[in-house]
Structure 1
Amino acid sequence: MEFRGRDSDLRRLAGLLDGVEAGTGTTRGKALIMTGRRRVGKSRLAQEFCDRSGRDYLVFQATRGRNAMAERRDFLATLTQSSLRAPEIFAHLSPPDWKGTLRALAEFLPVDRPTVVVLDEVSWLVEQDPEFEGALQTVWDQYLSQKPVLLLLIGSDLSVMEALQTYGRPFFGRATKIDIAPLNVADVQAMAGLSAADAIDAHLITGGFPEIVQTWAPGQSRVEFLRGALGDPLSPLLVAGELSLLGEFPESSRSRAILEAVGDGERTFSAIAAAAGNSGSLPAGTLNPLLKTLEAKRIVETDLPLSTSSDTKNKRYRLGDPYLRFWLAFLRRAIPFVERGRGDVALDRIERSWSTWRGRAVEPLVRESLMRVLLGSRWSDVEAVGGWWNRQNNPEVDLVGADRAPTARRVAFIGSVKWYEADTFGRHELDDLARARGVVPGTDEDTPLVAVARSGFDAGLPLAEHWGPEEIVAAWR
């Protein structure tokens, strides 16, 4: 399948390889830790980069749960099959440890031209053998870093990959890091050939996961895409979510129950505890560490009300990527219908809840987009865009622009997001927003009002600024 998008990521990798060739930096070789959510396209990106580089390379894919000895044998066998052309005898060796295995790799890296070495799913190598990190550090310091090599360390377990870089761990300070995000909404628009408003819908459904976006035929409507995907039990839209979750959270795990509760729309600690418990609420002592683990893996994110008043206990939880949000809200329950050939029933259920779900799901994307839009505006000093709510969620303000988060010194504006299919943002919505002015700590009657709407604005509204789908998508180009 044709590789599309990721131009900025490919440029970053090419720049690092150019640095290896030029010999810039304190060591000849360079190491890069590449992180990102499972199935976001890290492996495909690395392979595409290797192919385009025109250099000799080695790509090794670890296998979860494999015996460490078998993994090392497979590594050496891969080395013999790569363009580095190690002797065939290496495929039959059984190295006793990773230090010797990586030392063998270093022997076959040329000194007169750059090469690329990719170790994929490093977190699994760390799980298999606690000595792997130390061996990698030793061989890197003594041998690999002296060669013109770009070493890419890829992993999907964000907490493990970030731990590799922490002080006190063997490889600390030896690698730079990039995070491979899903395709942004502008990439989705370009690939799917959609209007700005429809591209935002597509991004909320696919999450920017390349394998799903590529199945969206150019110009295809949301309903047409869903009808096709729900007609095939093996469609990437249905399968990717289950594979992604099963890779880390079995169906019977507490973490999976928590994710499903958040996916169903539960946002507060108490509501999640009640929904995730089997016969009563999960105890706080159980739920707290599980939520912290999910946050460390960036699957669940925490929002705090943004204003000049601190309110650290009034947390709201949400899923970190749009695709899992959509999958858990709709698709996990749709799979049994699809398997019985009744994708039409699943589609009907999605359609009945779509507008309500989308209205809240679009808010994180809008806030992130405005952080880009504001750079060229009179609010270029705004460092945070969030929301505000009280314990009763009355009022609940969609947009708060401030100089810092979570406790601001100054609130620059407050705003509303109205993502109606056809209705415009009008006087009624403005009046609701104006009533919140003065309630949000740090605002008064002079605080500017702004709005974001899918279907336009009534004329003559006294808004300080307003944005539509075109501006939201353009922010990512």
Structure 2
Amino acid sequence: MVGKRAFVGRQQDLGRLRRHLDAVVNDGAGRLLSVRGRRQAGKSRLVTEFADRSGLPQLFFTASRLASCQEELARLAQAARHSTLPGAHLFDGITLADWHGALRQVASALPAGPAIVVFDEFPWLTEASPSLEGALQVAWDGVFESTPVLMILIGSDLAMMEALTSYNRPLFGRAKECVVDPFTVADTAAMIGVDDCSVAVDAQLVTGGYPRLCLEWRGAPDVMSFLRMQLTDENSDLVVIGRTVLAAEFPTEIQARHVLGAIGAGDRTNKAISTRAGLQAAPLARSLHLLREAKRVVAADLPVSTRPAREPRYRVADSYLRFWLRFIEPALPDISRGRWDLALARMRDSWLDYRGRAVEPLMRASLERLATSDPRLAGASVVGGYWTRSGTAEVDLVGVDQWPGATRVSVVGSIKWRDHSPFDQRDLSDLVAHRAEVPGGHDATLVAVSRSGCMARDLAAVYGPEDLVSAWSDRT
């Protein structure tokens, strides 16, 4: 018999959930918790583990995409019958007519003491039943709020889950919020069991910190070994998760999916994306708005300096999806016919160039964290990049006091994430020249981020793989 996968890490997230449950136990009152995070970030697994560890009676219901309201109610009744709630038998042989009645029935099945009720894929439930939010408000105010129950609503539609608790929505003022992120690079290093932090960074760029993908690392000594293991199986998690995520996020938005594909292929400006996707300005703007604001799968970067900027560069926000769109999706025909070797060869040929660009957001976020305690990064509350409109100069790292509205550039730096070549004097000369192009950066501190050390002098600081992974270690 195959058991469930071992649960690793997530101690901070488990602690947060435990504190919410402690409040229920201590106060004897209900608590409504909205849990959101990217698809495949591990939300459902986390909540399942938490509920099981609690030892309390529980009902865990997962919605189904595109199911009707009546189908969902029938499935809820079935889940409740097989739950560990003391009143599970109350669902025997009944047909739930609507959500008002269903929630009353759930309340009747609860024990006198603490319990946990979970609705997973909550956005799908509200899609099938727009009246659910209102019904839940009525049930919460009338019954659940005065009952010792921790009710957890889980969703991957980030915009919808954020809006769930906003003003003028039925659950406003009633729900607490909890965000579950993918693993950080420090979490990933611990999960895959590597001591080499440069390998951990590579793993983060490929797995995105998705727990399922990290579990599949299985002792691979480097990223190419991992890719080889995964590509030999067309049904491996590395291959399949990308298709699953995109099918769930974009069931009908064909134009937006084309735009995402263009960005994943490396097009970053409006003009380049428009050309590849074959869209005019208006439909392109609509698709970008959907990708950025509703789906949150695309990020828009602006050149950071003391001068306002308007022309963004776009990138896939999730590093796994970025890798999948760039390498896996185009290789699906080869992988499916058993020619994974061709796919791996293309990845090997392009990996260094791809990694050099893909690592930048992670490096910037890492330096922002280090800046809170490293005096060499003093004043760098926000770390971004800078580029000229003509593209003649580009600076990897620009640390400013605030963004938008920066008044001071405190740090300017360069990233050289090469396997065997250290940051050298020539790299420093280029950095000094490009610093002069950054508005407000003429006297900024110079720093470098290097995978392979540094031979240059006159830098305020040099950060390597160990420094960057340690920036996230307080979350493990």
TM bucket by the smaller chain?
A: over 0.9
1:303 to 296, 301, 304: 301
Shift of 1:210: 0.9
Partner of 1:160: 160
Partner of 2:264: 263
Shift of 1:20: 1.1
Give the counterpart letter for 2:430 in structure 1. D
Number of residue-to-residue matches in the alignment:
466
Tell me the C-alpha RMSD between the 2 structures: 1.4
Partner of 2:471: 475
Q: How does 1:174-253 map to 2 (within 5 A)?
A: 174-194=174-194, 195-250=196-251, 253=254
1:73·1:92 contact (CA, 8 Å) conserved in 2?
Answer: no
Quote the Cα distance in structure 2 between the aligned partners of 1:471 and 1:318: 25
Quote the Cα distance in structure 2 between the aligned partners of 1:90 and 1:13: 28
Quote the Cα distance in structure 1 between the aligned partners of 2:89 and 2:15: 35
Percent identity, aligned pairs only, is 45
56-65 or 375-384: bigger deviation = 375-384
75-84 or 217-226: bigger deviation = 217-226
TM-score scaled to structure 1, two decimals?
0.95
Q: How does 1:64-463 map to 2 (within 5 A)?
A: 64-88=65-89, 90-111=91-112, 113-194=113-194, 195-250=196-251, 253-277=254-278, 282-296=279-293, 297-312=295-310, 314-378=311-375, 379-444=377-442, 446-458=443-455, 461-463=457-459
TM-score scaled to structure 2, two decimals?
0.95
Give the counterpart letter for 1:416 in structure 2. S
Structure 1: 5+ residue runs without aligned partners? Answer: none
Provide closer, same or farther for how the CA distance between residues 173 and 380 of structure 1 changes in structure 2, counting only shifts above 3 A: farther
Shift of 1:103: 1.2
Quote the Cα distance in structure 2 between the aligned partners of 1:236 and 1:67: 29
Quote the Cα distance in structure 1 between the aligned partners of 2:365 and 2:165: 26
Give the counterpart letter for 1:473 in structure 2. V
Quote the Cα distance in structure 1 between the aligned partners of 2:441 and 2:159: 38
SS at match of 2:81: helix
1:307·1:406 contact (CA, 8 Å) conserved in 2?
Answer: no
Q: How does 1:5-20 map to 2 (within 5 A)?
A: 5-20=9-24
Quote the Cα distance in structure 2 between the aligned partners of 1:87 and 1:185: 42
Give the counterpart letter for 1:263 in structure 2. G
Shift of 1:380: 4.7
Quote the Cα distance in structure 1 between the aligned partners of 2:131 and 2:95: 17
Structure 2: 5+ residue runs without aligned partners? Answer: none
Quote the Cα distance in structure 2 between the aligned partners of 1:449 and 1:436: 11
Give the counterpart letter for 1:120 in structure 2. D
1:2 and 2:6 equivalent?
yes
SS at match of 2:359: helix
Deviation digits for residues 53-93 of structure 1 (CA, Å, limit 9, x no counterpart): 11111100011111211211221221121110325352422
Shift of 1:108: 2.1
SS at match of 1:450: strand
SS at match of 2:32: strand
Shift of 1:439: 1.6
Deviation digits for residues 355-408 of structure 1 (CA, Å, limit 9, x no counterpart): 000000000001111111111112354321101111122211111111111330
Provide closer, same or farther for how the CA distance between residues 91 and 161 of structure 1 changes in structure 2, counting only shifts above 3 A: farther
Shift of 1:354: 0.3
Quote the Cα distance in structure 2 between the aligned partners of 1:23 and 1:218: 46
Consecutive aligned runs of 4 or more in structure 1 exceeding 6 Å deviation: none
2:451·2:465 contact (CA, 8 Å) conserved in 1?
Answer: yes
